[in-house]
Structure 1
């Protein structure tokens, strides 16, 4: 958090605000928008949305230890009691705009390089890899990657940060443009163009257009060089860096070799001008190797030494529920259930097929596909043919079961999935589904 932004009077100097009650010199240690996760000493920011109004939770925030609250109206239950008790209340015309304004002011003071990562899949994993490039990184807080979360993530940046790595999420057109304008990254990365949010953006072309809104806000754009259409569309970038296996890639994978501890990658930078270098990474999955190449391309753009990048990638660890492995009973489980869409499901199944069998898949529904949902779920069945059995979960996933017939069982509860798996002989089990399915609950039942 900015050192100069620690009291209500500091805050009032940045944004148009009126102190309703409380001492202007009241100190706070960070910001919170959810009273359930608020830490004592934080400033509670009451955000109003179409579905809820954070002002309802201002009294609860104070009961949890909030030092003060930022509000834009007093029409909430308990407001007069808080005023009578002298609780520090600061009023602004719009709390979300105030939060964004504070974040913009803090961002303008940064002298370290900033990387923005977007894409249909792999954003959080790539951000985790990139964060290893510096001992002091300003980064996205959890999944705070939207128009509310990004300002909070920016405001949480430590004073001594040497690198910024932030994830930009979106559900529609204009959102990446807004986030990019706030963050102003030196380097932007588009991991891939898949089918996530396809129902909201009218297809893959719409997704690509939405992701490319990042382009005017960064000096250098790093993209998947094996996606020829993305490379073509991104050609307008001031500086374009590509990563992949294609001969023309800026950072090109020449060869890979499996080892006892992962994969040895032989990578060429800028054609033959700088020769090739070997990097040992602690994983073998194809989609993780692609992320490693994008990380190397980003590090190369930032001018990082090869050895420093290799050391960072060797220590890379995946975020929770991304290809997380557990051995329970006679089964080897792979929980890849942070989210799902047709492309990430296909990639996960391809990787599953390379592992020792027999194979079982627990497949949740893929959300936010809109009018494409039925056809995409039915098409997914083709990639599940190699599995000994498939258990589906969620209303839309039933279309997969219909396509697979006797090879699949549609389950109506997590307990039912666990019971079905208990009757199966030892296998490698992939658990994959959208965030809304919360398939990680299966681990607790098992």
Structure 2
């Protein structure tokens, strides 16, 4: 529009002709700058809300399992708790996009927040405090859906509100805020509060962080402006999107690799944390610091993996830095402390390498949509489903520990990464019309 206005004004005569031609362009530039500033401000508030919420959601990750073990809940019931949470989160993450299309992203976000807050209170008051496992299982499961609706509803919001020219950067910042809150800040905060207010007090403090993040989302994050889609139509399109796996089998293989990516992380949440504290002898605070530093390394790996994929090819990074790296570090993170005891610095060094290896699967997010032709959105949905499914598969593997023992389960998890290395070799875009395949 500004170009057209400038051309029209350029034909004007008289001493004010030049000003007539430049004023609209200047106004347009000012308007664009104001729109950009407003958009950045909204995005900043959104990322703040997400980070604070995820701090509360992630505070329990490295200590809840040993805490429940100390309360008398065996490893099988703890693993079932995490498995049910993962299943609920996976379904909610899969459906969040469709619900956001029908309701609007902010409504999904705030519904997720309300579910999380209500179910966390039930979990603590009527479950943990009185030892009622049935209510713990129910409330924790439903709370998983609340977390996914909040987090993935925000991902839809960012896609709606971000400047299309800088969408990739905005989404990158989304994942940075998500990981920063969920893993890094939450672990360090819990490491500080556990010796002061204990496990139950820290779980109550998590509620305060989630409430604060929800309040920021409610009052400072506007609803996205978009065309609403009827819920039945939106859910129907979501279900049809699974046919991308039939039409493009490599997308399905990529989804399996995405499941493998974080399976060890969620399995370790369910059983390794307890083992490190109860058997190896790390204090709660020491393990929180190890866990938080591992996740900080994982955040940095997102950037390293992107550059590595650019220069070496995505499949090379996923296969060797990701798959083989996780195979080695999963085994090392279990066996080395088992052999040498609670050596903080050796263990934290291994944890950093493990966090970096986990992050080397990041190129999947760019590679898999390239294999789906015009169905890129459905391919992304498959990746999201894989991410959620790992929250189910990991704890299910952890549930095998009482029957098989810890060492065999760790080996099963490690070998999955070797399987992932093989599967990654199929994630090669076929050449068409002489075009080079994706490396």
TM-score, structure 2 normalization:
0.23
Larger strand proportion of the pair: 1
Larger helix proportion of the pair: 2
